Structure 1
Amino acid sequence: MTDLRLLQQIASRAVDRAAALVTARAVGTVRPKGDRDMVSELDLAVEEQVRTFLQKETPEIGFFGEEQGAHRVEGDVTWSLDPVDGTANLVSGLPLCGISLGLFRGSRSVLGVIDLPFLKERFQAAEGQGAFCNGERLRVRSTAALHDAIIAIGDYAVGEGSVERNAPRLRITQLLTERALRVRMLGSAAIDLAWVAAGRLDATITLSNHPWDTAAGVAIVREAGGCVMDSDGRPHQISSQATIATSPDLRAGILALLEAAREKQCPGA
């Protein structure tokens, strides 16, 4: 099945079920899955429900979830789910979390549905069909200068090697504090991307690329007129090392900032 309009309807129905579960059920037991990383019973229940629904509705399409991994992903088209993007926020009682369901065709994200159940917002897009929030068409903001831009950055790394992995993140943060209007860290890549598409943020910089975090949001930003790229400016794909989303007007400024952050690695720079 390759009809994106129909697949978007199926994805929306899957996310309906997930959002209902998130708002109706307690978080349950929370257990660590690494240094300062966690998974809740609710994460697992949402993933199981969505996976089961999609396997029934689209048995020919593979599925990859954050918590339970891959199921039949040998084909060209694959669903990618983060059952609760922003689990730490959810566990802490912060409403900045959401369900993120995307679809890859090959290495390209072509469809996405992001639901923010506690904010009562549904973002969705399919390639060639536009991006929408609660039925209203989305368009990225046309900010052209960094000093006028509100920019989100992804969470800092945790776990083994986090000191080394956070060094470039800290350099970017420092440069943003010097050059951008405001810097935000919301704790959810799905929200960062959805809000770039909605024009609430001018850009988001995430120096990682987990498909479940980004698949839906990448499609939504692109359909809202934005560009999504790796840190070197190449178009974003499933194998990218970073996820940088911005308006076309701000693209050059963001790339220049990333290059300046790389130069600061050098002694004396």
Structure 2
Amino acid sequence: MTGYADDLALAHRLADAADAIAAARFRALDLRVESKPDLTPVSDADTAVEREIRALLAEERPDDGLLGEEYGATPTSGTRQWVLDPIDGTKNFVRGVPIWATLIALLVDGRPVVGVVSAPALHRRWWAARDAGAYAGPDAARGVPIRVSQVGELADASVCYSSLGGWEQAGRLEPVLQLMRDSWRSRAYGDFYGYMLLAEGALDVMIEPELSLWDVAALIPIVTEAGGTFTDLAGRPVPGAADISAVASNGRLHSDILGRLGQPAAH
């Protein structure tokens, strides 16, 4: 049994609380949406979910640190930090698109060791803990093991990405377009969903040029425990403070994808 079983169980309870709040506000006629300083939207559901999880963690793990998208970091002198995205896919949420989720991760010594991704509008949850495998199902009681695909050639691979605009800003649009041309299929599912489909073996590659820690921390244990590989564009382990890039794959395709994306174009 994993050494993080209690933390994973707690993460499921946090996700249950988040689901109850967010699902009740999804497609609500009185949903309040504002713009943050970076002009991205934030709804009253985002802030309510984060406040609830912060309150629960203050009771259950008062000595642990916490980083959340909406309210920043709670410092700690320890080596444990929870990382939270209350609603990943807020733009989908506010438009009534059901592809959104709460992302909950635990980092120990800066490494993600527990991840839970809960998407109540899809009736789906994914989770993993270090050395314990990855699972998916409608809830924690009905999970089944998941595994990445065995596709070994890009010509046979399904490639997922976030948005072409982001890759254009990163100076890598042409390599990404060529990657799509050379693959069997390409789709832009975006946000957490592409990574979870990768972990389930439904697609083979997921790439994004710019993210924050709360966008990826919960995804990494799930992808890697499912047998996949998760790095930045330089092939390094992902966790960092900001401006994170992500290349996730079934592992067999990883070096090929990194080589194809190459260096950004000169401006």
TM-score, scaled to structure 2: 0.89
Structure 2 counterpart of 1:91:
94
2:195 to 183, 193, 196: 193
Q: How far has the Cα of 1:127 moved from its partner?
A: 0.2
CA contact 1:153–1:206 (8 Å) conserved in 2? yes
Q: How far has the Cα of 1:252 moved from its partner?
A: 2.0
Note the 1:1-269 alignment, pairs <5 A: 3-25=3-25, 26=28, 28-34=31-37, 36-134=39-137, 135-155=143-163, 165-168=169-172, 170-188=173-191, 190-238=192-240, 241-259=244-262, 262=263, 265=265
The one-letter amino acid paired with 2:73 is: A
CA contact 2:130–2:225 (8 Å) conserved in 1? yes
Distance in 1 between residues matched to 2:121 and 2:229, nearest whole Å = 28
Cα deviation digits, residues 212-252 of structure 1 (max 9, x gap): 11011101001001111111112333358311111121112
Distance in 2 between residues matched to 1:33 and 1:266, nearest whole Å = 31
Q: How far has the Cα of 1:64 moved from its partner?
A: 0.6
Q: How far has the Cα of 1:148 moved from its partner?
A: 1.3
Q: 1:50 to 1:155 in 2, by over 3 A?
A: farther
Q: How far has the Cα of 1:83 moved from its partner?
A: 0.5
The one-letter amino acid paired with 1:224 is: A
Q: 1:185 to 1:32 in 2, by over 3 A?
A: same
Q: Percent identity?
A: 34
* Residue correspondences, number: 257
Cα deviation digits, residues 38-66 of structure 1 (max 9, x gap): 10111000110111111111111111100
Distance in 1 between residues matched to 2:17 and 2:238, nearest whole Å = 29
Q: How far has the Cα of 1:176 moved from its partner?
A: 2.4
CA contact 1:89–1:187 (8 Å) conserved in 2? no
Q: Give 5+ residue unaligned stretches, structure 1.
A: none
Distance in 2 between residues matched to 1:74 and 1:152, nearest whole Å = 38
The one-letter amino acid paired with 1:217 is: L
Distance in 1 between residues matched to 2:212 and 2:77, nearest whole Å = 18
What RMSD over aligned residues (CA atoms) do the two structures have, in Å?
Answer: 2.2
State the secondary structure of the residue aligned to 2:150: coil
Q: Give 5+ residue unaligned stretches, structure 2.
A: 138-142
Distance in 2 between residues matched to 1:179 and 1:149, nearest whole Å = 9
State the secondary structure of the residue aligned to 1:54: helix
CA contact 2:217–2:239 (8 Å) conserved in 1? no
